[in-house]
Amino acid sequence: MRALEVRAARWLAACGEPAELVVDAGDVASHTSHRVTASIELTTSCPLRVLAAAAVADGARKVRICPSGVDEVELVRAAVEVRSIASEHAVEVQFDVASRTALLTRPDDFLRLDPLVVEEDGTVVPLCSGIDRRYALGSLAESSLESLVARWDATPVLRLCRAAWRHAIEQPGPLVAWYDHLVRTSAAMPAAC
């Protein structure tokens, strides 16, 4: 079974298989009838603990921290806070960061095709929300998930992952905001990818 993230509850039934509903941390309370993951965009000076505590109080069963345009110092600060959030709130925390050690010792972990993400408009993309739409499988508004997967040529996504991985290992520092890095790399890849 593949990992599947859905960004709007209206698409859950169309998926036809178990999926993780991922919503902004401030929207958790309006989705309590589902198992919800609260997504927190980590930006400079983000009140991470406050946002996570509020999302858990509203019913989030998982907290996902997504760095966006932050520097190495912010990533390290957040990495320390992630441990505290998980233990203080007894909640699973996903921090969308890869260590340089993991990139170098387990490169196959970064050359993958999942999760599949159903964006708010029903577009199905690989790996993460915000990835360039050239990599999309199509839309649930037009076809079933199984049909989209059956027709999909994943070769360009694997090329994207390889390019992102190569670029990431060339960067200094111990941490890489992996999904943010994938999104930026996908936008920069040539159109003929």
Tokens of 79: 């990495």
Q: Give tens-digit pLDDT for 107-123.
A: 999 998 999 999 999 99
Count Cα neighbours of 161 within 13 Å in the Cβ-side half-sphere.
17
pLDDT digits (tens, 9 = 90+) for 4-46: 999 999 999 998 778 999 999 999 998 978 889 999 999 888 8
Alpha-carbon span 189 to 133, nearest angstrom: 12
The pTM assigned to this predicted structure is: 0.90
pLDDT digits (tens, 9 = 90+) for 55-90: 999 999 999 999 988 888 889 889 999 989 998 988
Report DSSP letters for 18-42, one per residue.
--EEEEEGGGGGGGTTS-EEEEEEE
